[in-house]
Each structure stands twice: as structure tokens, then as C-alpha cells.
A = this chain, B = another copy of it.
Amino acid sequence: MTIHPPVYDPPFNVTRASHAVLAVRDLAASKAFYVDLIGLVVSDEDEDTVYLRGLAEVCHHSLVLKRATGTSVCERVGLRVFTEDDLERAKSYFVEAGLPAAWVDVPYQGRTLHVSDPVGTPLELCATMTTKPRLLTQFDAHHGACPHRLDHFQMFTPDVAAASDFYIRLGFRLSEYICPDGTDEPAMVFLQRKGNPHDVVFARGAGPRLHHFALVIPESYHFFFVCDLAENLGFATNVEFGPGRHGPGNALFVYMRDPDGHRVELFNTHYQMMDIEDEPLRWDASRAGKRRWQLPARRSWFTEASPFLDVESSESDPNEVLPVLETYLLATH
């Protein structure tokens, strides 16, 4: 298996990861988590929906919370395309590829296209949203972790190679990837359109499922403040992993689970990746999985993820050996 070479003239222009749509069982609890603790700002809300954005975002929403009628799921992950023409081209592309593609109406968004990628991830594409003022210098609205913006999504899929291939053909560039030592079979791919390391990430696992969406937060200070605040607000055990330092991507991170178990990553310090000579960085799995200074993640971080609405997930491999904290502690006792 070979990583697909970069495509510089893509069939349509995806610009960036845009928004996540989550179904949640208790809208008030989720709002407390994302607004009071995390610090997202309410752009609009009604009885059944809360539209949230980060402090630096001019688009209407990067996170939509919808009252779940059934179980807690991720309804869709949203990508931005640049123009309405790109949307049309996207429609044709998915239809020709034999993939689902349908126009839908979504509040506060321009014309919107629902599609699915070949590994089953339900996507929502649009070219425009209603705009709102940036709140970067509205410091009296800053609270919690002061999240600036949504940055990327990470999904589990049993077929990382297929996902990688598909997104690279759409013009996504591979920034980093992990292969089992001595193989060329990608176990994890970091793909980007917007010029920093990630817009969509796929990791091997039972899927399609959403592992997490990620928000950029400003400083070291905010990592500790949001954890400290979590305890005050009753969310202490929602802190699942970190703060710690990633290998691939370089970021400082902390992962939290929302009241429905959806996972959000808060991170900072990504790098710019724009130049044609900037080659994908390969990590051997043994090196990528090596403990940095923090302890490894708990098993839940490796295995739990949000199902997508009406999309069946594959089963996880019961024999897979994961570099989980539980095993690490036994080994280093």
C-alpha cells in the first residue's frame, strides 16, 4: 500500500474543517459544559438547538448541539467549501463516485450538501454561513478555556488507507502519518486543507465513529484554568487525558468528555504547513506511541467514540493490543 501523492488541482475546493453537529440528551447540561466550562459563545439557540462559536470565529457556528431524540450520537461533521460552485462540483463528484449526496436546508448556513465519504463518515458541506462579530477583543466575553476556533476532527475507521486515499484525492495534504514499524500501512493519517497540520484525522479502530473534535485555546494558563474550573463546575471526571504533549502535531492538549461522552480536545501550538516542499512526516508506531512526559491515555480514550447517526460501526478487534495506561502501569510497576 502506498500513500497517495498530493493532488494540487482538486475536483472542488474544501477550505477547512467547519463544524460538528452533536445530538445530546440534556441540552442544559451540554450547554453548561460547552459554554460555562469550555467557553464557547452562544450565537443563537431555540428550544431544541444551541449554536456555538469560538471567540475568533466570524461564522455562525462551529458546534451545534441538538436535543437527541434517541441516543447520543454525532449527526455530522461539517466541512467548508470556498464557493457555491465548489458545492455544485462536490455534488457531482459524490454522485459520480456512487456516494450519497443530497441538498438540505440548514439554519444559518447557505445551501448545504449532505454526503458520506467512502468509510461512512456523514459530512455536511456548505460555502457560507450567517456571520457574527469576532469576539477576540471583547474580553468581557472571554471565559473558561477561551477557545478561539474549531480546528479539526478525528475519526475511527477500520480502513485508514481508504479514508486517506479519498481525502488526498480531494486535495487534502498529508502532514503526518503513523505506520506500524517496518510497514507502509498507515494506522493514522493527519490530513489538512487550511495550512496547519490537521483538518481531518483518521485512526484505525472500529468505525466510522467520531473520536473527537478539537478547539484551539490560547495559552498554557488556559489548560490549567479549564481543568481547575471543571472541578468547580462538577466536571472533574470529564477530564479524560492530559494535559500532555502530542508526538505528531506537536500540540499541548487536554481531552474532555462532554455529558454525553462526546470527546473534545483543547489544544494549542500547531504549525503552519503550506509549502510544496514540506513533506509528510512519517512516524513509526513504536515512536509515535512512546510515552512523552505524560502517562499514556486510559483505555477509554483508545476505544470509546461517538457513533454517527444512523451509521453502523464495525466491531473492534478484541485481540488488538493498545498502549493503554492500564497496561503501562502493569509493565512499569
Interface stretch (choices A93-101, A182-190, A224-232): A224-232
| Inter-chain contact B272/A56, CB cutoff 8 Å | yes
The one of B83, B227, B245 that contacts A228, using a Cβ cutoff of 8 Å: B245
For this chain, the copies found in one complex come to 4
The one of B220, B231, B237, B299 that contacts A245, using a Cβ cutoff of 8 Å: B231
| Inter-chain contact A140/B233, CB cutoff 8 Å | yes
| Inter-chain contact A274/B15, CB cutoff 8 Å | yes
Can you list 26 contacts pairing A with B, beta carbon distance less than 8 Å? A8-B82, A15-B274, A58-B275, A59-B275, A80-B274, A80-B275, A82-B276, A83-B276, A129-B275, A134-B271, A136-B269, A136-B271, A137-B250, A140-B233, A149-B271, A195-B195, A218-B269, A219-B221, A220-B220, A223-B224, A236-B292, A237-B332, A243-B243, A298-B329, A325-B325, A325-B329
Q: Is A92 an interface residue (CB 8 A)?
A: no
| Inter-chain contact B56/A271, CB cutoff 8 Å | yes
Provide the bound-state CA to CA distance between A145 and B276, in Å: 28
Listed in ascending order, the chain A residues whose CB lies under 8 Å from chain B are: 8, 15-16, 56-59, 80, 82-83, 110, 127-129, 131, 134, 136-140, 142, 148-149, 194-195, 218-221, 223-225, 227-233, 236-237, 239, 243, 245, 250, 252, 269, 271-279, 291-295, 298-299, 325-326, 329, 332-333
| Inter-chain contact B326/A230, CB cutoff 8 Å | no
Shortest 8 CB-CB contacts between residues of A and residues of B: A56-B271, A220-B220, A227-B293, A239-B293, A220-B221, A139-B228, A136-B250, A128-B277
